[in-house]
Every structure is written in C-alpha cells, then in structure tokens.
Amino acid sequence: MKPVISDEELNAFVDDELDAADRERVLAAVATDGALAQRACALRLTKEHVRHAYAEPPAAPSHARPTPAWRALATALLVAGAALAGWTARDRALESASPASRHADSGHVILHLADREAARAETVLDDAEGLLLAARESGRPMVVELVANAGGLDLLRAGVSPHADRIARLRAEHANFTLIACGQTIERLRERGIEVRLLPGTRVANSALDQIVTRMGQGWSYVRI
C-alpha cells in the first residue's frame, strides 16, 4: 500500500518544514510514486514562480516625506517611563555599539564628521537633533558640538551644504548646538584656489584633531559618525 501523503504534508516538504523522519518518509514515497513526485514538483515550481514574480517589485513612487523618520525617532526617545524601560531592555540585549556609549554621560558631546557621504551628513544631524531634543525634554544639561573636517566640511560650507536650512533651524532652536570647522581643511582648500565660506555661526578651530583632543581632555564624549 502506498503511504498517504497529504497536500499539507507535501507543502511542508517543499518548504522544508518537516522533521527528519517525516522528510525521509516523503522522500521515499516521492521516489516510488511518479504522480506524487509530479505534485511536489508543481508545488516547488509554484513557489519559484512567486519568488520570481516579486524579485523586482516596481519602484515606490517617490514623494516628499513630511515626517521624516528621525522625528518619529525623537518622539520615540522622549516617550517617558515605559519606553525608556524598553530601551533599557534592548540596551542589555544588544551589545554596545561603540566604546563611547560606555562613557559617563557628561552632557557634553562632540560629533565628528570627516566624510562628504550624504547618508553620514544626515546621520550627524539626526543624532545632533535627537540628543538636543532628548536633553531638552528630560531637562538635562547638554552641549552638542559638531566638528567637521576633510569631506565633512562641505556640510558647514555656505553655498555647498545641502542642509544649510536645517542647520540654521537647529541653531535657532538650540543655543547649546555649536559648529566647528577644521582650520587645516580650509587652508588646504584655499591653497587649491577654492573659496571657502562657512555657514553663519561656524567657528574655526586650528584643526579638527586639536579640537577633539581638547574636548576629550575636558571630559567630553566623542562620537565619530
């Protein structure tokens, strides 16, 4: 008598959901029963068809996002009590992302950007804004200093920075947000005949490295983006 293999079982076989014993039983049955083998084949083919059909879904129509993810994030960070307990739970579950996160919370943070990559520039601003909002909401003192050098300097260059408006807004909303440009990077650009104008309120340090070393000596937390 042929072993009875149900459709459910055959699907589970195709999806690799059977335990070893059941798989063996189905394999043996498939080997001796041509019709069953054909059914299994048809199911596998159907599965492949579905995968293939959505391998390249049409591109999402791009429309402006009125509420960017970081705003939802800032809100999420600020939800009191329960949310914080959740973050703490995840804190324990995940490993620390960087040694800097283990630093005591000095309330002084230096964010360092040395790269012109668009995603990083956005990240540094998201982080700055997230920190500033979280600090304001929780009533904690906080100073965030953004230090830019090399390709990162573009973020602070007037006429070049794609985020000039957002930076202006952040500065207007948060007196505790400061911008530092690397003097050496500016020097190098000028040597190459490139005119460098900085966004309003940007201060120039001798070099990004100097500034970072000084701040870390003062107990600031350092975050490289």
Partner 1 sequence: MPILSLLFHSRQWRQSLEAARPGLYRVAYAWCRDAALADDLTQEATAKALERGDQLRDPTRMKSWLFAILSRCWHDHLRSRHPQQDIDELAEEHLAGDSSPADDFERRQTVARVRTAVARLPVGQRQVLTLVDLEEFSYAEVGEILGIPIGTVMSRLCRGRRALRDELLRAEATTPLRRIK
Q: Which residues bind partner 1 (CB under 8 A)?
A: 7-8, 11-12, 15, 17, 42-43, 45-47, 49-54, 57-61, 65, 67, 69-70, 72-73, 75-77, 79, 82-91, 93-94, 96-98, 100-105, 109, 123, 126-127, 130-131, 134-135, 138, 140, 142, 221, 223
Long-range contacts of residues 62-70, Cβ cutoff 8 Å, at least 24 apart? 70/126, 70/129, 70/130
Closer CB to partner 1, 7 or 191, in the complex:
7
Give the angle 124-119-163 at the CA atoms, nearest 5°: 65
Closer CB to partner 1, 4 or 59, in the complex:
59
Closer CB to partner 1, 128 or 204, in the complex:
128
For the bound state, the minimum distance from the C-beta of residue 15 to partner 1, rounded and expressed in Å, comes to 6
Q: How far is it, in rounded angstroms, from Cα 178 to Cα 193?
A: 28
Closer CB to partner 1, 105 or 187, in the complex:
105
For the bound state, the minimum distance from the C-beta of residue 90 to partner 1, rounded and expressed in Å, comes to 6
For the bound state, the minimum distance from the C-beta of residue 197 to partner 1, rounded and expressed in Å, comes to 31
3-state SS record for 43-109: HHHHHHHHHHHCCCCCCCCCCCCCCCHHHHHHHHHHCCCHHHHHHHHHHHHCCCCCHHHHCCCCCEE
Closer CB to partner 1, 50 or 118, in the complex:
50
For the bound state, the minimum distance from the C-beta of residue 147 to partner 1, rounded and expressed in Å, comes to 16
For the bound state, the minimum distance from the C-beta of residue 196 to partner 1, rounded and expressed in Å, comes to 30
CB atoms within 10 A of CB 70: 16
Cβ proximity of 202 and 179 under 8 Å? yes
